Structure 1
């Protein structure tokens, strides 16, 4: 699928039909009676009622039964995490896109110079696209290069949802940004970001992505002048204009994002607390096992049972450490990614609202001029209407894609967490069951020695 198949920029998209988004044709809106009689709706502010007796839910337009699930499988079914969901079948790109661009981020390396210390990552690309001169590329990029790419994508594709990058800044003294664990986690996040961009049917054809994947040295001197000029022009037009209500489908998106981000924030805080408590418990458990090991050295008769207890505790420590590592390196990063994802989606919604406000402001000004001196409708009004339609179409397509990715990611996240917990308890149970066998054998030996 080529980039021309969809609106790539709000400034260059072609006119489209108006029936899909509910926008009225200009000729109908400019009719004196309909223009005078049409009431003004409230502004675009979106609020979520999380108080009262009912808790805000994430139904996404589908009724959800509130009774407790009978099993884990029924819970997954209620959360709509199956691969064959109807929502996935509605993905507008599912049957049209063919993957011909594959990217991978790996092999982090630390660079130390007199001025700074930084990490670079190898970005490998394989493709059959004619836009690339070679079928394979391998370049090294650092975090600020990924940040440059994301800024350029936001600049040149303002109507699309740009995947988020992991947060750049970390608290000094709390997280070592050069530690193996931190670099590994960031590398996975950068790899996911680049894969999402490369799999997108429009973003993947962006020339800045081409340069990022193939150029040995990126030309990053171009600033945000164009973006700033566009933003200032929109502010001038919409500064004194109160936006009419968003279309219902975009209001539903805003409500969902607000509730979803609240839920993720709560889960993240609880998970952080659980991880901290697990770390404290692990420290105590290790000391507990050490006591039994030292005790076994001074009690010849109880040496085997005490060493057995120490071995069980050691096994439990290893299993708990694996589970905690999975939570810190796999579970929490996905939560944080989707917290950033919701902010990116809200940002696109705000841009859509600005585009709608610009269109409505110019339209009302044109209506007044037409009523006063019969001047024709300026072409810029029609261009603004096309821009709004472009925003609506691109945003709805990206929303469907985001929902599909989210279902798949959270299915993998929750099933992975369940598997890790099962493994932890199975290892712990097996260790303590082996101790029971050891104690029974010891008891049998004692009885035999007493008989003899």
Structure 2
């Protein structure tokens, strides 16, 4: 019924594979209840994606951008990665961790991909993406991520990289089989309680995704007005005051006219500076905020499949319970494995919700402070012009 991801086979038969990979789900009220436990040997970490550098191969026939990656866990080691290696990592994570939100990579651009502005934007977006992965308690400790951030790779030394790449690609613990690695701490929550928490998120998710999309669309239009309308209109005001000042200069005899002329020039200069602020400072903070919350559109887009699989599994289990234990050979095992799936889904929901609150608090606070500084600079420009009038 939903065997594309192997869930039915997992529920009915479990998995005989032996593994050294272990993921635990605990219970902590401070973490929202059911939550991912941190791997004791590899807790979440941060990383930097730096120094994009254009490289060539095949005698200059093929060009690419390589980024330097530095993490907390690698000491002074810096590894170089191209976009195609980021793409490889994304593919491995999506295939292995079907029940964890893997945000999409920034899209690959062909035309203009070596232009400085695009390269910097791509570097920033890749850093955001990689930090999202490395902050996740499960993903950060996974072999594909550890291999990606620590294995050195050069044209002359790629043996270790290729060996790790093959190991990841041949990993059998993926899709529903990965659930075999998961254990959970029993809590006071019943199966019905867990299902109700999941169902509550099912009701929230579409609206949250829709409103974030609306917000980003509004911000994009607002940014366009900043540079295409506001900046141009304010520059026009500056030019009009400058022309007005030239006319005032023609009167060389009236007392106080020179001071009036000089002050009018200050007004023109102030509006010109304000136009520049709209182009730079006014746009930067909003653009950064928009980029950050757009990441959440990608995260939220992961949930429909996860929730659909969980819903199908729940219906399957209800049917078995209605028919009675004798209908399957390992009834208790089937029930336990369905509980594992529900714990995984709720742990991911709770992790997402916790990150959402932390992130949006930081993003909006940062945006407000940047906007305050922006408008204070505008006020300062106008004030400097105003004090010159008598």
TM-score by shorter chain over 0.5: yes
Q: CA deviation at 1:229?
A: 9.4
* SS across alignment from 1:105: strand
Structural RMSD (CA): 3.9
Matched, 1:281 2:230: yes
Task: Report the equivalent of 2:297.
Answer: 339
- The CA distance in 1 between the partners of 2:200 and 2:324, in whole Å, is 30
* SS across alignment from 1:439: coil
Q: CA deviation at 1:314?
A: 2.2
CA pair 155-268 structure 1, distance change in 2 beyond 3 A: same
* SS across alignment from 1:247: helix
Task: Report the equivalent of 2:95.
Answer: 155
CA pair 96-145 structure 1, distance change in 2 beyond 3 A: closer
- The CA distance in 2 between the partners of 1:408 and 1:124, in whole Å, is 24
Matched, 1:290 2:239: yes
Task: Report the equivalent of 2:7.
Answer: none
- The CA distance in 1 between the partners of 2:43 and 2:87, in whole Å, is 24
- The CA distance in 1 between the partners of 2:208 and 2:267, in whole Å, is 45
Task: Report the equivalent of 2:53.
Answer: 109
- The CA distance in 2 between the partners of 1:148 and 1:274, in whole Å, is 36
Q: CA deviation at 1:102?
A: 4.4
Query: Could you give the per-residue CA deviations for residues 43-76 of structure 1, whole angstroms, max 9, x where no partner exists?
Result: xxxxxxxxxxxxxxxxxxxxxxxxxxxxxxxxxx
Task: Report the equivalent of 1:120.
Answer: 66
- The CA distance in 1 between the partners of 2:86 and 2:54, in whole Å, is 17
Cα contact 1:126–1:137 (8 A) shared by 2: no
Of 284, 290, 294, the residue aligned with 1:325 is 284
CA pair 224-387 structure 1, distance change in 2 beyond 3 A: farther
Cα contact 2:34–2:346 (8 A) shared by 1: no
Cα contact 2:96–2:175 (8 A) shared by 1: no
CA pair 287-411 structure 1, distance change in 2 beyond 3 A: same
Q: CA deviation at 1:266?
A: 1.4
Q: CA deviation at 1:348?
A: 2.0
Gaps in structure 1 of 5+ consecutive residues: 1-8, 15-19, 21-85, 128-133, 232-245, 372-376, 441-452
Given the two structures, how large is their TM-score scaled by the length of structure 2?
Answer: 0.71
Of 260, 274, 282, the residue aligned with 1:316 is 274
Matches within 5 A, 1:175-254: 176-215=112-151, 216=153, 217=158, 218-219=161-162, 247-254=195-202
* SS across alignment from 1:158: coil
Higher share of residues assigned helix: 2
Given the two structures, how large is their TM-score scaled by the length of structure 1?
Answer: 0.62
CA pair 109-403 structure 1, distance change in 2 beyond 3 A: same
- The CA distance in 2 between the partners of 1:354 and 1:156, in whole Å, is 20
Cα contact 2:48–2:69 (8 A) shared by 1: yes
